[in-house]
């Protein structure tokens, strides 16, 4: 499902905290979007990009497939990403990469809600 199709469906029932750690799903407007694994060529490029970010002194946090959420019904896991996060996050919205987007520990944050898994 493309993000334009998800927008046409209205708000979906899922939130970022419902996505299991390691899941291949992202969320667009509360609708799950299956993301296929990166092919070998792309994986090598991700490794190089991650190394560049990790060694940049201006970058405090870098990661691969880390969940970023700007609101409860949105979750993206870019191949390579960076953010400025506190050492001890205060909760699922503790990290900020810019004033308009909020990375979150959504893939590791747990609650008692039902979860969406890729099995």
Q: What are the residue ranges spanned by the domains of the chain?
A: 3-83
Residue 103 has pLDDT above 70, yes or no: no
d(CA 90, CA 54): 23
Whether the per-residue pLDDT at 31 is higher than 50: the answer is: yes
Share of residues in the chain with pLDDT > 70 (%)? 63
Given pLDDT bands bounded at 50, 70 and 90, which one contains residue 91? very low
Report yes or no on whether pTM surpasses 0.85. no
Tell me, what's the pLDDT at 58? Answer: 84
Give the distance between the most distant pair of CA atoms in the chain.
42
Please name the helix (run of DSSP H) or strand (run of DSSP E) that holds residue 27, with its range, or none.
Answer: strand 25-28
What pLDDT shows up at residue 24?
Answer: 87
Name residues whose C-beta falls within 8 Å of residue 58's C-beta, 6 or more positions apart in sequence.
none
Q: Residue 63: pLDDT above 70?
A: yes
The pLDDT of residue 56:
86
């Amino acid at each position: 499902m493309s993000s334009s199709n998800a927008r046409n469906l209205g708000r979906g029932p899922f939130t970022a905290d419902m996505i299991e750690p390691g899941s291949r799903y992202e969320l667009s407007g509360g609708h799950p979007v299956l993301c296929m694994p990166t092919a070998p060529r792309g994986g090598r490029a991700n490794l190089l990009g991650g190394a560049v970010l990790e060694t940049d002194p201006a970058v405090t946090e870098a990661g691969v497939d880390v969940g970023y959420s700007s609101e409860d019904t949105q979750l993206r896991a870019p191949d390579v990403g960076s953010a400025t996060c506190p050492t001890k996050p205060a909760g699922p919205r503790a990290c900020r990469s810019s004033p308009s987007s909020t990375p979150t520990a959504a893939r590791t944050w747990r609650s008692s809600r039902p979860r969406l898994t890729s099995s």
